[in-house]
Structure 1
Amino acid sequence: MDGTLAALFLIAGLTDMGINHCGDGGCLAQSPETERFSISAGDVDFQKATVSKELYLRYDFGRRYGPFQPVAGASLTADGTAWIGIGAAWTQRFAGDRAYVQLALMPGLYSQGSGPDLGHAVQFRSGVEVGYETSKGVRFGLSYDHRSNAELSGVNPGMETVQFRVSIPVK
C-alpha cells in the first residue's frame, strides 16, 4: 500500500470542508464533537505476511476544526515495536447516522523493537475504519491502516494492520 489512504483523507476532508464548513466562522471553525477512547487489536502485516499482533489505543478529542477531529494514538506489538502519534480524523455518517466511515492521518514516532525495519523513526499512519454506532454512542468498527515514512529515507517498505476497534464515549 502506498499513500492512497492519506490522499483519500485529504481529498474527502478538504472537499467536505469546502462544501460544508466554510461559513461565517471560517473553514476550520471549532465545534463540539464526541470525545472517545478506543481500543483495538489485530494483525500486523509486513511484506504481505502476518508478522505480529498489535494493541492500539486512541483518544479522539472532544472538538472538531471544520471536518477534522484531533486524535492521538499509541500502539505496541507482540514483537516489541511501538508507535505513538497525533493527527486528525474525518468521519462521514450514513444509514441514519448509525453507520460510519472514518479516515485518519497521524504522523508519529516508531520504535523497531524486534519487528520490521521501516527505514525511519518518523512513520505516518493513515487508515480507514468502517463501523456501526449504537444509540449510546459506542462504536464497533473494522479498521485497516498503513504506516510508512513517506520516502523520508531510501528504505520505506511500509507496514499494515487490520484490527477490530471498540470506541467508547468519554462523557
Structure 2
Amino acid sequence: MADGTFAVLMLILGLTDMSRNYCGTEIGCFGKTETTPHFAISAGTVLERRAQQAGEIYVRYDLGTKRGPFGRALGLSIGEHGETWVGFGQTYKIQPQGSPLYAELHSMPGLYFDNGGFDLGGPIEFRSGLELGYENRQGWRFGLSYDHRSNAGIYDNNPGIETVQFRVSVPTR
C-alpha cells in the first residue's frame, strides 16, 4: 500500500458517501458544514524500506468545516535529520453511529525539503494514509497512523517513504 492506494480509497469511499448522504439534500454534494476542529500531534518512525529508520514529529490541524463528507487539514512534519514536509489536503472519517472507534483517511499534497536528510526526488510530495483509533466522550482521539509520501512519479527519482505514528488529537473548541 505504498503507492497512493489510501488516496484512491479515500476518494472512492468519500464520493460514495457523498452521493448517498449529501447530494440531493439541503446542503448539497459539497455543502459546507461545521465540525469540531482538532489539533493533533504524533510521533513515530520512518519505516526502514528505502530510507533509514528515523524519528519524525508530525502536527496537524483539522479545520472546523467540511465540504460534503471531506474534512480539510493542514500538516507539518519534521524528521530526525531535518527533513520537513508541509501540506494541505482532505480527510475522510468513518465512524459508526454511537461507536468510539474510527478510521480516517487523508490525502495531502505538499512541499518537502530534505535539508540534507532523505531525498524524496523533488519538492512536491504527496502524503496519504490511514489512522485507526478511539475517540473518547470529550472528543479526544487516540490513534495509530500509517502513511506514505512520494512524488507520484512526477520526478525521475521517486523512492517514497512510509511512517508509523501514534497520534493524539485534541478538540480546540
Report which stretch shifted further, 36-45 or 88-97: 88-97
In the alignment, residue 70 of structure 2 is paired with which amino acid?
F
Q: Percent identity?
A: 49
CA RMSD, 1 decimal? 1.3
Task: State the 1:116 CA deviation.
Answer: 1.6
Residue in structure 1 matched with residue 6 of structure 2 by the alignment: 5
CA distance, structure 1, for counterparts of residue 71 and residue 120 of structure 2: 27
SS in 1 for 2:15: helix
Unmatched tracts of structure 1, length 5 or more:
none
| Count of paired positions | 171
Task: State the 1:9 CA deviation.
Answer: 1.1
CA distance, structure 2, for counterparts of residue 137 and residue 4 of structure 1: 28
Q: Which runs of 4+ in 1 moved over 3 A?
A: none
Instruction: Determine whether 1:109 maps to 2:111.
Output: yes
Residue in structure 2 matched with residue 17 of structure 1 by the alignment: 18
Select the residue among 96, 99, 103 that pairs with 1:97: 99
Residue in structure 2 matched with residue 56 of structure 1 by the alignment: 58
Task: State the 1:97 CA deviation.
Answer: 2.8
Task: State the 1:61 CA deviation.
Answer: 0.4
CA distance, structure 2, for counterparts of residue 5 and residue 66 of structure 1: 19
Unmatched tracts of structure 2, length 5 or more:
none
Task: State the 1:96 CA deviation.
Answer: 2.3
Assess if the C-alpha contact under 8 Å between 2:50 and 2:159 holds in 1: no
Residue in structure 2 matched with residue 146 of structure 1 by the alignment: 148
Assess if the C-alpha contact under 8 Å between 2:51 and 2:118 holds in 1: no
Q: C-alpha deviations, 1:106-139, integer Å up to 9, x for none?
A: 0000001232211110000001000000010000
In the alignment, residue 125 of structure 1 is paired with which amino acid?
R
CA distance, structure 2, for counterparts of residue 97 and residue 158 of structure 1: 34
Task: State the 1:50 CA deviation.
Answer: 4.6
CA distance, structure 2, for counterparts of residue 112 and residue 4 of structure 1: 24
Taking a change above 3 Å as real, the CA distance of residues 147 and 46 of structure 1, as seen in their structure-2 partners, is farther
Assess if the C-alpha contact under 8 Å between 1:32 and 1:63 holds in 2: yes
Task: State the 1:26 CA deviation.
Answer: 1.7
Give matches, 1:114-153, under 5 Å.
Answer: 114-153=116-155
Task: State the 1:160 CA deviation.
Answer: 0.6
In the alignment, residue 106 of structure 1 is paired with which amino acid?
M
Residue in structure 2 matched with residue 40 of structure 1 by the alignment: 42
Give TM-score scaled by structure 2 length.
0.95
SS in 1 for 2:36: coil
Task: State the 1:47 CA deviation.
Answer: 2.5
Give TM-score scaled by structure 1 length.
0.96
Task: State the 1:48 CA deviation.
Answer: 5.2
